Amino acid sequence: MTRILLLGGTEEAREIAEGLADAGADFVTSLAGRTEAHYPGTVRIGGFGGIEGMAEALKGDHVEVVVDATHPFAAEISPKARRAARMAGARYLRVERQRWRRSGRDRWISVNSLEEAASLIDSGATVFLAVGAGGVAPFLDRRDLTLVVRSIEEPDLGNRHDIVVIRDRGPFTIESERALFEEWGFDAVVMKNSGGSGAAAKLVVARERGTLVYMVRRPQGQPWPTVRTPDAALKRLRRYL
Ligand code: NAP
């Protein structure tokens, strides 16, 4: 049976794992271990120690297909996995959801990084940081902003005690996002162009209200996607099973 290594950490990866488990496939899911997650089947946790480490693990475990369903903003693992798969003689499939596209009524400022967003926001603004706990650091020096962070994990706020933290996990509805925007009257939202539906409601509400969105572009150098959705990935994988 074809042995598959599924690189996860996303909703897409979980759906692929479920599909593979239903199909009785021989697969292992790999997670970085940053957050808790529940996947069917065998799960291994932690980095491989770089490209060579991953290539050796692939060879040692006789992996024939690497399915890379990691997050579009996980900038290191995908180029590494592609190279490691090549070194180990395994196939490499990249599953990457579509990015969000600007519509006519959107007020987006596209930026290359959170640091760039942090440097551009007008003084005095009330800002919704929808950037995850790990994305808050570039904003900590902006004491002239009112900052509201929403994240799954507790962010490290240094000595900033004035930042509002909302601990929550998506998906979020348009109604709940409307209520949040109404409560805080945000002047700006900062987010990464992750794409997908689970985080898209805030974009809809920002559009409705004419709120400025600092949209971080996807990192450069990611392997070109093989497919965009879990269904398409499973269809492709059925050819190899
Ligand atoms: P990253 O910067 O691309 O990767 C850093 C290192 O973490 C990699 O070089 C690798 O270590 C290890 N790693 C990453 N994903 C792994 C996996 N699935 N299995 C085993 N090792 C992995 O990644 P990141 O941005 O820190 O994200 C970590 C994980 O969280 C990813 O798997 C991603 O799918 C998920 N995630 C990330 C974001 C985001 O915005 N970045 C959002 C949601 C979910 P070695 O070099 O030692 O192998």
96-111 tens-digit pLDDT: 999 999 998 999 999 9
DSSP state of 87: H
Banded pLDDT at 14 (limits 50, 70, 90): very high
Residue 240's pLDDT is what? 83
pLDDT, mean of residues 19-42? 92
187-218 tens-digit pLDDT: 999 999 999 888 899 999 999 999 999 999 99
The answer, yes or no, to whether any atom of ligand 1 lies below 6 A from the CB of 8, is yes
Banded pLDDT at 90 (limits 50, 70, 90): very high
The answer, yes or no, to whether any atom of ligand 1 lies below 6 A from the CB of 135, is no
With beta carbons less than 8 A apart as the criterion, state whether 237 and 5 touch: no
pLDDT at 241 over 90: no
Average pLDDT, the chain: 96
Burial of 149 (C-beta count, 10 Å sphere; 0-12/13-18/19+): buried
156-186 tens-digit pLDDT: 999 999 999 999 988 899 999 999 999 999 9
CA of 22 to the centre of ligand 1 (A): 26
Cis amide bond preceding 40, omega within 30: no
129-149 tens-digit pLDDT: 999 999 999 999 999 999 999
Q: Ligand 1, residues 70, 114, 129: which to mutate, most atoms within 8 A of Cβ?
A: 70
CB contact burial 184-197 (16+ within 10 A = b; e otherwise):
eebbbbbbbbbbbe
